[in-house]
Amino acid sequence: MADPPLLTPDGRYLVVRGRLWRATNPQLPEAQRQAAVRQLMAARREVGRARRQGDAQALARAGEAVDAAKRALGERGPVWWDDGAPDYNRHLAKNTPYAAWHARVAAMAGSGADQA
């Protein structure tokens, strides 16, 4: 089983291959989070099905469903924190205020520290 993804100290981002990805809003009620995750997984299955079938319209609809689920989780759209901190989603950790922290964690754990 793979190790869980590395989370930034503030819990705002997961780090995958050195890149920050916005984490799910930890304030979501569990039932709401689970429903959004189910919607996300169903939408991702639809993306795969549409790709295999070469159906561009179904692929576009499935992509919109993925986006809607990720927004419901807080992984896209407006940030879920309220302290005014900028969003570094999809930035390389080394180009953000998390750079020193990430370098330390990666050095301590070896090259696999931010693999998912």
Strands (E) across the chain are located at: 6-7, 13-16, 19-22
End-to-end CA distance of the chain: 11
Confidence (pTM): 0.84
Cα distances from 5 to residues 9, 16, 85, 87, in angstroms, run 13, 7, 22, 19
What is residue 9's three-state secondary structure? Answer: coil
Q: What is the pLDDT along the chain (116 residues), one digit of tens a residue?
A: 677 889 999 999 999 999 999 999 999 999 999 999 999 999 999 999 999 999 999 999 999 999 999 999 999 999 999 999 999 999 999 999 999 999 999 888 765 544 43
Strand order in the sheet with 6-7: 6-7, 13-16, 19-22
